[in-house]
Structure formats: structure tokens, C-alpha cells
């Protein structure tokens, strides 16, 4: 599948191999999910001298991602 910025791929770790396998243990196939909405931080790219300040966004997915060993939550610490 050709991916655009309208999709996200969850669970892909090695782009050169499909499926991702290490020591004869393979991860589930990646999930390609359409993005319904992108919410960018209000102050993104507005702070002078800090091009990476507030460079975060939330993505609302069209369908829920299936949590598995290849795709799981990531907690961001502030």
C-alpha cells in the first residue's frame, strides 16, 4: 500500500523486512490506518529561536489500532 500523510503505519520497525523477524520470532504485520483529524499544538512554530518548540500533534484515527507486540501505547513524559 502506498502511504501518504493521510495514513499512519503502526508496528513497523524494519522497513527492509516484512514481517519483522528477529531470532525466528516475527512481529505481527503492520497496520495502515487512515487519519481522520490532525490537531497540532496551538503554539507550534510560533516561538522565535526555538524551531522545535511544541512540535507535537494528536492524530484521530478512522479505526482503532489493534494493540499487540508490534503496536502499543507510548507514554510521553513531560
The pLDDT confidence band at residue 17, using thresholds 50, 70 and 90, is low
pLDDT of residue 15 exceeding 50, the answer is yes
Residue 22 in contact with residue 5, Cβ under 8 Å? no
pLDDT value at 9 more than 60: yes
* Domain residue ranges in the chain: 7-61
Rounded CA-CA distance 5/23 in Å is 33
pLDDT digits (tens, 9 = 90+) for 54-77: 777 888 999 998 888 777 777 666
Q: Is the pLDDT of residue 10 over 80?
A: yes
Amino acid at each position: 500500500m502506498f502511504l501518504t500523510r493521510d495514513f499512519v503505519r503502526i508496528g513497523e520497525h524494519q522497513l527492509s523486512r516484512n514481517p519483522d523477524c528477529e531470532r525466528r520470532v516475527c512481529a505481527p504485520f503492520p497496520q495502515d490506518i487512515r487519519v481522520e483529524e490532525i490537531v497540532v499544538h496551538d503554539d507550534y512554530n510560533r516561538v522565535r529561536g526555538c524551531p522545535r518548540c511544541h512540535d507535537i500533534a494528536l492524530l484521530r484515527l478512522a479505526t482503532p489500532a489493534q494493540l499487540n507486540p508490534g503496536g502499543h501505547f507510548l507514554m510521553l513524559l513531560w
